[in-house]
Amino acid sequence: MLLPELVAIPADPPFFLGSTAMTNVCYAGFLETGRVAAPPWWNDLDFRSPRQPVVGVTWNEAMAYCIWLGESDGGRWRLPTEAEWELAASAGLPSPRTAWGDEIPKGEIPEGELRGPWEVGLGTPNGYGLFDMGTIVHEWCFDWDDAPREPRR
């Protein structure tokens, strides 16, 4: 299982986030345990590239994956809170509209016909070294929009 590089995010307290979304190659090992069923389009060729982000999983399946990762490597894995995700996506910029500031640079999101999500890490990382924050697929957070706005746990 090849996990994304972990990036330290400066917050109070600091936390770590994968430099990319979890990929199909990472999630495949979890599916082999039989704890959850494969997402509905797992075998669809447009969604099966090993470097594509995992799609079609429920919040509970994402949580179960984090638990399994911790059991596998002894780490403490969890989904980021919404406040943590927003801080990480903004790279600490004050209220930007995108991870790059107020405008998305050309080439950072797919243009034209695209079948399935594009592979992770193809664009430019944000100021914290994170790729694809909010541009490829929707991402689960531990909590939701009515949670506290500060990235504290």
List, for residues 90-129, the tens digit of each pLDDT value. 888 776 555 556 666 666 665 655 566 888 988 889 899 9
CA dihedral for 115, 117, 120, 122, sign (positive or negative): positive
Q: According to the model, what pLDDT value does residue 85 have?
A: 92
CB 47 within 8 A of CB 57: no
Strands (E), the chain: 6-9, 15-18
- Integer CA distances (angstroms), 87 to 17, 20, 28, in order: 11, 15, 29
Q: How confident is the model at residue 146 (pLDDT cuts 50, 70, 90)?
A: low
- Comparing 47 with 148, which gets the higher pLDDT? 47
DSSP H/E element including 71: helix 59-73
CB 133 within 8 A of CB 70: no
CA dihedral for 90, 7, 121, 20, sign (positive or negative): negative
pLDDT digits (tens, 9 = 90+) for 43-82: 888 888 899 999 999 999 999 999 999 999 998 999 999 9
- Integer CA distances (angstroms), 135 to 20, 21, 68, 107, 138, in order: 11, 11, 27, 11, 8
pLDDT digits (tens, 9 = 90+) for 11-22: 999 999 999 999
User: What domains sit in the chain, N to C, each tagged with a CATH number?
Assistant: 1-153 (3.90.1580.10)
Q: Which residues are bridge partners to 98 per DSSP?
A: 101
Q: What b/e sequence results for 97-133 when a residue is b if at least 16 CB atoms lie within 10 Å of its CB, and e otherwise?
A: ebbbeeeeeeebeeeeeeebbbbbbebebbebebbbb
